[in-house]
Amino acid sequence: MSEGMLIRTKLIRTRAIVVDTFREAFARKIFWGLFVLSTLMILFFLFLMRIDIVQGAMATISLFGMQTGNEINLARLVKQTEAGIATFLYTWGMFLAVFASAGLIPSVLEPGRIELLLSKPVSRRHLLLGRYLGNVLIVGLNVAYLVLGVWLILALKTGIWHPEFLVAIPSTMFLFAVLLALVVLIGVLLESTALAVMIPVGIMIISPILAQSKIANLLSGEFTRFLWKAMYHALPKVYDIGKITLDFVMDKHVESFTPVWTSAAFGTIVLVAAIHIFEKRDF
Amino acid sequence: MSVFAIETRSLGKLYRSRWSGKEVHAVNDVTLQVERGTTFGLLGPNGAGKTTFVKMLLSAVHPTTGEARIFGSDARIPSSRIPIGYLPENHRFPTYLTGYAMLDFYAALSGMDSKPRRKRIPELLELVGLAEWGDVRLRKYSKGMLQRVGLAQALMHDPALLILDEPSDGVDPVGRRHIRDILQSLEERGVTIFLNSHLLVEVEAFCRDVAILNKGRVALQGKVRELTAGKGYRLTVPAAMPGNLHAAVSASASACTPRDGVVDLQYADRAAVNLAIDMLRREQVEIEALAPTVSTLEDIFIRSVEGGSANV
């Protein structure tokens, strides 16, 4: 088989795995659930949040037809609203995405289904990465829809085009991809949907606590301090990446991108481990 | 290219319990050759290691010893599975897919382009008698229908080797006949068919070659025609016979089985049974019955599994 044919065949297979992941997400109402939620938020900004521009750069906001208060700076209003959306994506949005995706890996490992998949001329790595890619795309499309929708509505209502907000799309997808690597590892290792949700959500919860260096300095024991810092450096930094995104959105200076690299390293190592375990397992 | 569709050398799978360290040889030192274009039946009691053996051919289970080859290629390499069409036992096809989408998905995984897929799917749905069901989700299918669409899935990319695990499971007699007809037409086209079935009659009627697996080892392997060629005669006579007559007629019999006041004597050929009849009639012993016998695959299977090798 020529090199070109080989690549073409690989693409056919990858597309098939990704499309199958989407079909399963549709059937489980995962995609539509996230889509409806995003649509509701977009509709909120479209119809229920009314911005009246007064004196050029100032505005008043009314929610559900009620005035919220004094005139505020329009540019600050846009940034704060976008920061609110970004915060939502990093907290509840991420939780929902992990919760919705957790079952999509164990489901392909079910007896009777996995044997048939493995009987096809596809490497196990290809199967797992295709499924992973499909999951990232499902969440990515929803995040892009929400962020672009809100961004457009705010821009059209205020006349302020603030593209920095769009960084929330890749940054949310990146963080989800890191957490999904952990979901995949747990799925492959334990085939437990419950644990595949609990552990990444646990990391999301402890991440803001671990990020507080003040707490680490208050710890009395040397070993405890070391353990705290080791956990902080080893685990994905949900809080820090969220803060970087917010700094971007609020046009603030980003102090360090180290949390991005270390989280990427975590995701890569965990995904490689998941592939290794999947390749060695008997089904 | 190898003359064998499937070839295994000292293939083995040892399962070891993580906690107790207890070891189980699911498959032990299996050397097997399946010729191209043949119909091969793999038989064995429950727990004999048949499914583990098949899974090692497909690389779903990693062997602990030996090797398996598909048309000469190492079975561990994904490309070795290009010529394989497989229908697993207790399959669980994604029920959110329609019959059409399921065939499309697995064919794409086999590397088929979209144009030939679109052409092949209606043909195969027609072949397995599900032409009207292509747009219906699999959750609405009966077990027999799932089995038939599963067979269509295995045939999508026109495989040279078909591995079927209990293909008639859950299928009614008409459907079973239909499946057999499809398999026969594939055999005529030179497709190698590897059948893992507990239905001995099905294997005997369809397969040219057979292997019996017992406790993870090959207990017997050969051509079905040769294995079942143990023709002879069964003579049934009263248990009570005068003098040394019983000893005399039993001496030339290959088997002697007493039951309910009579004795079944098995003779290998016509001359031997006629000699016994002459002796019996001379003493005016009445013959209860005389019948020609043929060894069935079931006889051979039971003899192989219950200890000794089949003596046919």
Rounded Cα distance between B286 and B75, Å, is 62
Share of chain A above pLDDT 70, in %: 91
Q: Identify the weakest region by mean pLDDT among A203-217, A256-270, B276-290.
A: A203-217
Output A148 or A45, whichever has higher pLDDT: A148
Q: Are residues B234 and B222 in the same domain?
A: no
Q: Which two tokens mark B259? A: 């039951």
User: What average pLDDT does chain A have?
Assistant: 88
**A119, A127, A277, best to mutate vs chain B, most B CBs in 10 Å:** A119
Residue B308 has pLDDT above 60, yes or no: no
B247 pLDDT above the threshold of 50: yes
d(CA B264, CA B21): 50
Task: Examine the pLDDT at B254 and tell me if it is beyond 90.
Answer: no
Q: Are B92 and B41 in contact (CB under 8 A)?
A: no
- pLDDT score recorded for residue A63: 61
Distance, CA of B186 to chain centre: 17
Residue B82 and residue B210 in one domain: yes
pLDDT at residue B200 above 80? yes
| pLDDT bracket for residue B311 (50, 70, 90) | very low
Note whether B172 and B269 are same-domain residues. Answer: no
| Between A214 and B275, the higher pLDDT residue | B275
B204 contact partners, CB below 8 Å, separation of at least 6: B224, B228, B296, B297, B298
Q: Which of B177, B194, B227 is the last residue of a domain?
A: B227
pLDDT at B306: 77
How many CB atoms are located within 10 Å of the residue A69 CB?
A: 7
Per-residue pLDDT averaged across B56-68, rounded? 96
What are the residue ranges of helices labelled H in chain A? 3-27, 30-43, 74-88, 94-101, 114-118, 124-158, 168-190, 193-210, 213-218, 222-234, 238-249, 258-280
Set of chain A residues whose Cβ sits within 8 Å of the Cβ of B92: 110-113
Q: Are strands B232-238 and B289-293 parallel, antiparallel or unpaired?
A: antiparallel
Say if residue B9 is in the same domain as residue B149.
yes
Shared-domain flag, residues B186 and B280 = no
Amino acid (1-letter code) at residue B270: R
Distance of CA A104 to the CA centre of its chain: 16
Q: What is the maximal distance between C-alpha atoms in chain A?
A: 70
B158 and B241 in a common domain: no
Domain membership flag for residue B152: yes
Q: What is the pLDDT of residue A162?
A: 87
Cα gap B234→B236, rounded to integer Å: 6
Same-domain check for residues B128 and B211: yes
Confidence of residue A124 (pLDDT cuts 50, 70, 90): very high
A51 three-class SS: strand
pLDDT of B83 reads 96
- Mind telling me how many Å the CA of B184 is from chain A's nearest CA? 23
Nearest residue in chain A measured CA to CA from B94: A113
Longest dimension (CA), chain B: 83
pLDDT, tens digit, 9 for 90 and up, residues A81-112: 888 888 888 888 888 888 888 888 888 999 99
Residues B187 and B268 in one domain: no
Query: What CATH number does residue B85 fall under?
Result: 3.40.50.300
Domain CATH code at residue B242: 3.30.70.980
Closest-CA residue in chain B for A1?
Answer: B79
**Are residue B274 and residue B190 in the same domain, yes or no?**
no
> What percentage of chain B has pLDDT greater than the value 90?
62
Half-sphere exposure of A13 (CA within 13 A, CB side): 24
| B129/B265 same-domain check | no
* CB contact B115 to A (< 8 Å): no
Chain A positions in Cβ-Cβ contact with residue B51 (cut-off 8 Å): none
Q: What is the mean pLDDT of chain B?
A: 90
Listed by number, the residues of chain B in 258-287 with a beta carbon closer than 8 Å to a beta carbon of chain A are none
- Range in A142-156, B95-109, B166-180 with the lowest mean pLDDT: B166-180
SS3 letters for A181-221? Answer: HHHHHHHHHHCCHHHHHHHHHHHHHHHHHHCCHHHHHHCCC
Q: Is the pLDDT of residue B21 over 90?
A: no
pLDDT at A53 over 70: no
Q: What per-residue confidence (pLDDT) applies to B305?
A: 81
In a domain, B211, yes or no: yes
Q: Do B242 and B111 fall within a single domain?
A: no
Mutate to test the interface with B, among A7, A19, A114, A115 (most CBs of B within 10 A): A115
Last residue of a domain, one of B179, B195, B227: B227
B33-44: average pLDDT: 94
Which residues, at least 6 apart from A214, have a Cβ–Cβ distance to it below 8 Å?
none
* pLDDT band with cut points at 50, 70 and 90 for residue A116: very high
Q: Does B86 touch chain A (CB under 8 A)?
A: yes
Q: Which residue has the tokens 């069409």?
A: B85
What's the CA gap between A149 and A151, in Å, rounded? 5
At residue A122, the 3 state secondary structure works out as coil
Per-residue pLDDT at B310 exceeds 60? no
Query: Is residue A197 predicted with pLDDT exceeding 70?
Result: yes
The H-or-E segment that residue A72 falls in is: strand A72-73
Locate tokens 């030179």: which residue? Answer: B190
Residue B212 within any structural domain of the chain:
yes
Task: Tell me the one-letter amino acid at A271.
Answer: L
Tell me if A12 and B61 make a contact (CB, 8 A cut-off).
Answer: no
Coil, helix or strand at residue A50: strand
- Its pTM surpasses 0.80: yes
Give dist(CA A276, CA A71) in Å, integer.
Answer: 58
Q: Residue B309: inside a domain, yes or no? A: no
Q: Write the DSSP symbol of residue A44.
A: I
B218 within a domain of the structure (yes/no)? yes
The radius of gyration of chain A's CA atoms, rounded to the nearest angstrom, is 22
Q: What are phi and psi of B127, to 5 degrees?
A: -60, -40
Range of the domain at B40: 4-227
